[in-house]
Chain A
């Protein structure tokens, strides 16, 4: 925020465009970026940060209200308004363009509502229709303007793909105003927006001005889209609404945190977009921002603490490893049980036969146990001993298995020959508390449905979580 204030306080009256800069090396460009000496750069960066924040905040509401496509349509629908705003007095007057674009955007959303109310078309079709018509009209008008013989039109064509460097002082001031209004409204009426987004019918019954709230959200949205237009471009502004919000949605399940994160991601995307656009000597800013935002999204998609792909894969992997470990321990128990508990060591060959695998595989499994101090192996004699901890775990697994088999046959009326496979799964999942419950329900049984003894586990144990 301080940075923004600083950037805004030094707004020059008439900013030169970055594109005037002659070709320089990427390093020099980077140094120039971080010294903030270039006034037009300061403007571009301030604008990018502002639009990141406002788009992030509003996008969060769009995403949770399942209105992402509304943002897309709205952003395309403003284009004819931009053109008409320019034609109003043939200059790039920010206020005229802002007004024209807002009117066009709101008109677009109203037409969508009107179509869905009066025909049997659903909202997605209506959104698609409106997007196409308004965008087409906008492109035609823009084409006409391009052919007009005047200099003042320069920069207007940036509306399609965005060029933050083309931002003027007036544009950035407008952005600051809309962003401030967004932050203010959303924080003062947070609970109203929250309940109207979660349960609109309920919100109406407790006297929330639902229509007004919706209208306010649409107005803010239109304003945010319009001010973002020059920097990001019509084509991609919706991505700035959706991507940071979608990223935040993956990372948290509380709305207020999602808002903060979304604004933060928007801010980062804005800054990164402006930086890379500058670094590449005037690459279009919009695509750079969107790529930055998408990179953040990809990061969250892969590494989010609870739902991330990598994290989920890792969790599955360690689960499988644990199940394998527990099965090996169980096999050791079974071999020793078959021998009437008369000895303590188990030969690798016996283990392999029991596990129905090769001796090499059995050795690998045992080495994993050794690494976890659950077993020891006499390398010369190729004999495995469970450590006390390992033995306890093995007992717990067998106990869980047999308890569950007993529960299924006695309480759930499964046939005794139907319960083994299910117990193979469940033995790894039962925690100590459930085991106690099962024991109580089954009146502390001693034998499983097949007549084998259910081991007593000394000192607790069982499936680790």
Chain B
């Protein structure tokens, strides 16, 4: 089967300093994949390189067997919440409609059909009642839901999400997890940058451990081992590995 996402020898550098070395990856479709690693491990960079936001120094990316630049229309992207100015003069609906812009084509205007789709996506994340609200007047969790709805509006087959759980309340986190499971059940592939080791096992069926390179990639059961986590997070983070062990012991 064609991988949903495939990279070969992907290397990315900022100001000539490599932050991600030789990433070889083949993500089979229909999986919910957690991308994990310590701060500065290159998780966000990996996503940005796949999305073509930062140019790689070497290597290539294929999405559903096609060069990434041609297949970006099949990819939905959820950036980190802090990456935008939430005082920007748009409301919730405006942001979600942006998910449709890619399909509309240059110079084409948003129509009734787009609004219908956007409303449905807002409904899915429980934000429809706030559709007319200015985005500055949202809580962190609500802002994250808006970004999620925008990605849903892209109606993609592959989703890349950069820390959708960062700084959100427990209700939002649960809602997002349900949504991700639902997407997976519909055959979508989702890659999620995640920080919390304690919930990783429960959320994801595959894990990608990154620390400037790919440390491990595979089924969660195989990858979530003390040895591999130790290798990813390094000896200095013994507390994390202890937590991981505890969680594992709890089953």
Interface string of B147-161 (1 = CB under 8 A from A): 000100010000000
Interface string of A158-194 (1 = CB under 8 A from B): 0000000000000000000000000000001101101
- In chain A, what residue has the closest Cβ to B53? A201
Task: Identify which of A189, A199, A207 contacts B98 (C-beta below 8 A).
Answer: A199
How big is chain A's contact interface, by range?
20 to 34
CA distance A205 to B84 in the complex (A): 15
Is there a chain A Cβ closer than 8 Å to B95's Cβ? yes
Grouping DSSP codes into helix (H, G, I), strand (E, B) and loop, the A interface class, with mixed when no group exceeds half, is helix
CA distance A255 to B150 in the complex (A): 18
- In chain B, what residue has the closest Cβ to A66? B85
Interface centre among A198, A208, A249, A252 (most CB of B within 10 A): A198
Q: How many residues of B contact A (CB 8 A)?
A: 31
Residues of chain A with a CB closer than 8 A to B102's CB: 205-208
CA distance A207 to B110 in the complex (A): 17
Interface centre among A201, A202, A203, A207 (most CB of B within 10 A): A202
Chain A residues 187 to 235 lying within 8 A of chain B, measured CB to CB, are 188-189, 191-192, 194-195, 197-199, 201-209
Q: Is the CB of B51 within 8 A of A189?
A: no
CA distance A45 to B53 in the complex (A): 46
Chain A residues 232 to 275 lying within 8 A of chain B, measured CB to CB, are 249, 252-255, 257-258
Residues of chain A with a CB closer than 8 A to B75's CB: 205
In the complex, how many angstroms separate the beta carbon of A305 from the nearest chain B beta carbon? 14
CA distance A209 to B94 in the complex (A): 20
Q: Is the CB of A189 within 8 A of B106?
A: yes
Residues of chain A with a CB closer than 8 A to B101's CB: 191-192, 195, 203, 206, 208
Residues of chain B with a CB closer than 8 A to A254's CB: 89-91, 94
- In chain A, what residue has the closest Cβ to B136? A253
Q: Is the CB of B90 within 8 A of A205?
A: no
Q: Is the CB of A253 within 8 A of B106?
A: no
Is there a chain B Cβ closer than 8 Å to A435's Cβ? no
CA distance A66 to B84 in the complex (A): 11
Q: Is the CB of A191 within 8 A of B53?
A: no
Contact surface of B with A, Cβ cutoff 8 Å: 48, 51-53, 72-73, 75, 77, 79, 83-85, 88-91, 94-95, 98-99, 101-102, 104, 106-107, 109-110, 134, 136, 150, 154
A-B contact pairs, 26 of them (CB 8 A): A66-B85, A191-B101, A192-B106, A195-B98, A195-B101, A198-B85, A198-B90, A198-B98, A199-B98, A201-B79, A202-B77, A202-B98, A205-B53, A205-B102, A206-B73, A206-B77, A206-B98, A206-B99, A206-B101, A207-B72, A208-B102, A253-B90, A253-B134, A254-B90, A255-B90, A258-B89
